[in-house]
Amino acid sequence: MSLPEPDAEPTPRWGVVLFDLDGTLADTIPLIVASYQHAFRAVLGEEPTEERARAWIGRPLLEALLEESPEHGHELDRAYREWNLANTSRLIRRYAGVPELLAALAAAGARTAVVTSKRRHAAGLALTGVGIDDLVGVAASLEDTERHKPFADPLLHAARVLGVEPQECVYVGDAVVDLRAARAAGMAAVGVTWGAGVPAELEAAGPDALVRTVAELAAVLLPGAGPLGRV
């Protein structure tokens, strides 16, 4: 997918663009859902529905599993991670237009980074799997903070790593916890509807923009590259 030809030299709306990873930059949703379903089958002999599994996306894995099954959470976590790593290259998919968007942001002078609830190693594998590891790096992962989204801690950690103020940043994500974390951190918030989140719930969270396509996201982040995204 190609971004629209700019009418003028695009200027970033925000100098720093922080991205969620799963369901935002990389299409890992089928992989994550299948990993949850495998873990529950292997450990508990049951399989969560896709809707139930998608609701956990965006939260730290172990936290979500311990909440679902305090007794078996750690065993579920182990089964999930083993299966997920073994099947990442087979099931991960690239979102069309994302590499071009990241390249356009860099060319326009914007700084970009990933803030994710994944472990750093798993995040690196995902970025490599969709071929954008040379375009964006991880500024905050699971290991970097004690509290995670929807708390502000990982986003504020990323701002410190980059040496910028939170108000210079926008956080882009596909889940309500992403938007809440952005607000808690004093950052702008942009929601995308192509991931795990329910559009109506994302809209209710009050983002600065809610976009349906990568082209719409490009228009929000780089106003000179085309019309602003429409909800």
* Integer Cα distance of 215 and 84 in angstroms: 30
What does each C-alpha distance from 168 to 112, 133, 158, 173, 219 come to in angstroms?
12, 24, 12, 17, 18
Catalytic residue among 7, 20, 133, 208: 20
DSSP class per residue in 144-174: G-SS-TTSSHHHHHHHHHHT--GGGEEEEES
* Integer Cα distance of 99 and 1 in angstroms: 9
The verdict on whether 133 is a catalytic residue reads no
Which tokens belong to 36?
């949850």
Enzyme catalytic residues: 20
